[in-house]
Amino acid sequence: MTSVRDGTELGAAVALLAAARSVTVLCHVQPDADTVGSGLALALALDRRGVPVCVSFAEPAELPASLRTLPGGQHLVAPGQVPHEVDLLVVVDCGARSRLGALADRLSGAATTLVIDHHRANDGFGTVDLIDETAASTTELVTRLLDAWGVPIDAAIAHCLFAGLVTDTGSFRWARPGSHALAERLLATGIDGSEITRSLLDTHPFTWLPMLSKVLSSAVVVPGAAGVGLVYALVRAADTHEVGPEEVESVIDVIRTTAEAGIAVVFKEARGQNDRWTVSLRSRDSAPGVSDGVDVAAIASRFGGGGHRFAAGYTTYGSAESVVRALVDELS
């Protein structure tokens, strides 16, 4: 794993940005606040230095509603508008090429690639890899990068950076050393942290409630799984037609509150592809018999996925019964 602590990669990343004549920033599919916040913060900084820049993600077709208030949205473009050739391609918060979806083909057209990420499973696929798994969010790494580049962090950039920090730390429930100090610095620019947090984490349309009711009725507890217990639920495609992807993603945060389980899992059926499932896994930082929690990234990697120690995911195919059984058997 590449470390940024000695400043070598940080300096190389600054040099790439400073020399770039055109920049494309790519976020991962099903974007969250950390990837979009990182991308837009960089875009704002580059635009102020007169560098042509665009930000994009492969899917879904529209940015989740909760992220539309992030400053810098004017730099977002549809996947079809992303240049096939660019001086510098920056990939943010993306642990593997596959997480770029259909936009992974833009890697071959970039003169230089910079990868900025905090996922442990990222082995690096850029010309320069700015990767630090100890960072609480990718926006934390972007902050370090902007500081090293001498870019002032004003309220607009701070808003983007705070969005990634607050979501990836679960409103600071999983804060790392330095997370609160960074938050204090960003809040000092005048941003409204409570409003940003509310819009990102505590706001859903009414249609979320009946969807959640159906999903929670499918929940099952497997007491002995992995020695800590497993709780899982299924989100059927038919239940998601009136909600957005962020409402679907939020289900895991409800499931994970189950006291009898150290691991929580949500199986999400893809619309129009009834045999394709995206699977979200979460674990606690401690559980009976496991003082430092279960490493769900290691579990996800067995199914071709990855992520963080306490939050990971993968994609799988089959019937609902078969995909659930495969995971339960793996944890038995």
User: Which tokens is 124 given?
Assistant: 């690096």
CATH for the stretch 4-202: 3.90.1640.10
- C-alpha distances (whole Å) from 20 to each of 36, 113, 280 are 21, 11, 37
| Tokens at 247, concatenated | 């409402």
Say what the pLDDT of residue 292 is: 65
Mean pLDDT, the chain, as a whole number?
92
Domain spans of the chain, in order of start:
4-202, 207-331
Residue 218 bridge partners (DSSP) = none
The string of DSSP letters for 36-51 reads HHHHHHHHHHHHHTT-
Which of 91-105, 144-158, 166-180 has the highest average model confidence (pLDDT)? 144-158
Q: What are phi and psi of 178, to 5 degrees?
A: 100, -15
Please check whether the two domains, 4-202 and 207-331, share a CATH topology: no
Distance in angstroms (rounded) separating the CA atoms of residues 135 and 116: 11
- At residue 82, the pLDDT reads 98
Strands (E), 61-118: 86-92, 110-117
Q: How far apart are CA 35 and CA 177, in angstroms?
A: 21
- Note the pLDDT of residue 287: 52
The domain 207-331 having CATH identifier 3.10.310.30: the answer here is yes
Closest CA to 32 of 128, 169, 221: 169
Sign (positive or negative) of CA dihedral 43, 48, 53, 59: positive
